[in-house]
């Protein structure tokens, strides 16, 4: 019998440092563009040094087979810079992968990390699955992975924060967490992802905030296109999300929660909600709901054209990535109460 999901217990002191998620450097980490001015990151330490120089108060970064020496160095350097560290980790695929997962958790803990972010789906629900059967198979595998991970994070007292990553709608996600029923398994709350699943971002924040360990803070801009709508991460304060109210709601539930900027510099994402494939895994969204949502998208249409970067050369793409992060950091410090 599963235990009831436990909301986060309020703490006394608020951490006002503003961190940054690894995905904010998607180009630098994953696209490996050649550039002398902006060489690709090859280690967590390089991200620590870069983000510390920019003025961020922490980072959320992937755990990449750190040995004891690397974990210790990351802990010492982040503490010297007064930065927090959060980890990013892959869930165990099956029982044979549990040992790898535990090794990563041990590396994280040695680096002073107490929260690790993960995701069940690396892609997007409406692009990945062609049938409801395929989605349900993924759902079962995801639940099994979290169940395999839970005893490990409970043993090491490290919180596992599963992101709403364009995979789960609100009720689906909460149902999974309730069935897991562990104080060590909660949420990395992304403030914009569920727009792609036709859910109101403020409603997502209100429903998921009580169970969140960490936040991906982002602002969003949208506009219509022939198959649905486009959406882009934009600099904080330049989109349509009520960021200040979102922060207030989240901090009311967990005053000490950490916020990490996730400003992904890329071309707009297509949300093809007027195509048959998009609907393959959804059973509970009515035509009326879709119409209402598209009307809200139309009313929130960005006054500026959504940003494209793929037509720019390597150095310009990488420069924009740094400047977008810097601009959002300055906005957060000047307008949102972060330091």
| Tens of pLDDT, residues 258-271 | 999 999 999 999 99
> What is the H or E stretch that residue 78 is in?
helix 68-80
Neighbour count for residue 127 (Cβ, 10 Å): 15
Q: How far apart are CA 17 and CA 111, in angstroms?
A: 18
Q: How far apart are CA 34 and CA 154, in angstroms?
A: 42
**Contact in structure between 207 and 174 (CB atoms under 8 Å):** yes
| Tens of pLDDT, residues 104-123 | 999 999 999 999 999 999 99
Residue 303's pLDDT band, with cuts at 50, 70 and 90, is confident
pLDDT(7) > 60: no
Mean pLDDT score across all residues of the chain: 94
Neighbour count for residue 200 (Cβ, 10 Å): 15
**Contact in structure between 39 and 64 (CB atoms under 8 Å):** no
Secondary structure (3-state) at 259: strand
For residues 32 and 56, the model is more confident at: 56
Q: Where are the domains of the chain?
A: 18-221+233-267+308-335
pLDDT(43) > 50: yes
Q: How far apart are CA 202 and CA 189, in angstroms?
A: 12
Q: Strands 159-163 and 219-225: what pairing? A: unpaired
With pLDDT > 70 as the criterion, what percentage of the chain qualifies?
96
CA dihedral sign of residues 21, 24, 29, 31: positive
- Which CATH class, in words, describes the domain spanning 18-221+233-267+308-335? alpha beta
Q: How far apart are CA 329 and CA 149, in angstroms?
A: 33
**Contact in structure between 324 and 265 (CB atoms under 8 Å):** yes
**Least confident interval from 5-14, 112-121, 285-294:** 5-14
**Contact in structure between 147 and 94 (CB atoms under 8 Å):** no
CA separation (Å) from 92 to 62, 115, 147, 208? Answer: 15, 17, 9, 24
pLDDT recorded at residue 5: 55
Q: How far apart are CA 13 and CA 63, in angstroms?
A: 28
Bridge partners of 175, per DSSP, are none
148 phi, psi to nearest 5 deg: -70, -35
- Structure tokens belonging to residue 235: 């600099």
Q: How far apart are CA 159 and CA 66, in angstroms?
A: 19
| Tens of pLDDT, residues 246-262 | 999 999 999 999 999 99
């Amino acid at each position: 019998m599963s235990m009831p999901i436990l909301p986060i217990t309020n703490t006394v002191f608020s951490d006002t440092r503003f961190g940054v998620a690894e995905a904010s450097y998607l180009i630098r980490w994953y696209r490996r563009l050649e550039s002398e001015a902006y060489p690709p990151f090859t280690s967590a330490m390089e991200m620590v040094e870069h983000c510390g120089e920019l003025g961020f108060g922490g980072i959320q970064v992937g755990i990449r087979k750190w040995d004891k020496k690397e974990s210790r160095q990351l802990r010492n350097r982040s503490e010297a810079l007064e930065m927090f560290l959060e980890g990013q980790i892959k869930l165990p695929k099956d029982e044979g992968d549990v040992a790898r997962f535990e090794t990563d958790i041990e590396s994280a803990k040695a680096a002073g990390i107490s929260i690790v972010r993960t995701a069940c789906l690396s892609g997007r629900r409406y692009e990945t699955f062609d049938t409801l059967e395929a989605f349900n198979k993924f759902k079962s595998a995801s639940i099994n992975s979290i169940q395999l991970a839970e005893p490990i994070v409970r043993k090491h007292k490290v919180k596992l924060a599963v992101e709403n990553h364009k995979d789960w709608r609100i009720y689906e996600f909460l149902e999974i967490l309730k069935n897991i029923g562990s104080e060590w398994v909660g949420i990395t709350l992304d403030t914009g992802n569920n727009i792609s699943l036709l859910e109101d971002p403020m409603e997502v924040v209100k429903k998921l905030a009580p169970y969140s360990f960490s936040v991906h803070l982002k602002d969003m801009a949208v506009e219509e296109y022939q198959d649905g709508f486009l959406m882009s991460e934009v600099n904080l304060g330049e989109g349509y999300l009520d960021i200040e109210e979102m922060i207030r709601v989240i901090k009311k539930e967990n005053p000490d929660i950490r916020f990490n900027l996730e400003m992904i510099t890329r071309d707009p994402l297509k949300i093809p909600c007027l195509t048959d494939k998009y609907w393959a895994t959804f059973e509970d969204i009515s035509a009326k709901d879709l119409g209402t949502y598209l009307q809200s998208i139309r009313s929130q249409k960005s006054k500026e054209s959504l940003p494209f970067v793929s037509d720019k050369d390597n150095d310009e793409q990488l420069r924009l990535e740094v400047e977008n992060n810097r601009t959002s950091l300055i906005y957060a410090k000047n307008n949102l109460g972060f330091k």
